[in-house]
Amino acid sequence: MPLEITQLTAEATPIAAVDGWTPRNALAQAIRGRLDKVYALLRGRQITGLGHNVVVYKQSAGAPPGQELLVEVGVQTPAPITPEGEVIASATPGGRAVTVPHFGPYDRIGVTGEAAIAQMEAMGLKRAGVSWEVYGDWEEDPAKLRTDLFWLVQ
């Protein structure tokens, strides 16, 4: 069944994030660990109006040995933050993009992503090297989890 792919102009959204390299098989742990650092800083500063959790996948050319992914893991903020320690001020990418929703457990996001990439290629869309995920509100039932997947396109 074809996915619901939407083309749009993505607006850059400020995030507080921790970035760095990680092996693909340690991604879930890296996401949790980096979010802990971001939330500790944001709670300490009593920043309110936070949005959703975000993971930005950057181009991974030139990865150090044993590493595969260069990612920023963070939280949407109402305005750019002042960096501190490992937590940086960043933003989700902006520009021409496509998005597709993923419904279900986080460990199945890759399946949706692969199907979306195949469908984008069939549509003649070329990825521009950066993608990101915006995690929706928490649901106890994993089948109800929503994650929006985005890719910049040329």
What range defines the domain where residue 14 resides? 6-153
Record the tokens describing residue 123, joined without a space: 């549509």
Per-residue confidence (pLDDT) for residue 33, from 0 to 100: 97
Asked whether the whole model's pTM tops 0.75, one would answer: yes
CATH number of the domain where residue 76 is located: 3.20.80.10
Show Cβ contacts of residue 138 under 8 Å, excluding neighbours closer than 6 positions: 145
Per-residue confidence (pLDDT) for residue 68, from 0 to 100: 86
pLDDT reading at 1 higher than 70: no
Per-residue confidence (pLDDT) for residue 62, from 0 to 100: 73
Q: Percentage of the chain with pLDDT > 70?
A: 99
Closest CA to 92 of 8, 3, 4, 6: 8
Please give the tally of structural domains in the chain: 1
Looking at the domain assignment, is residue 1 inside a domain? no
Q: Percentage of the chain with pLDDT > 90?
A: 86
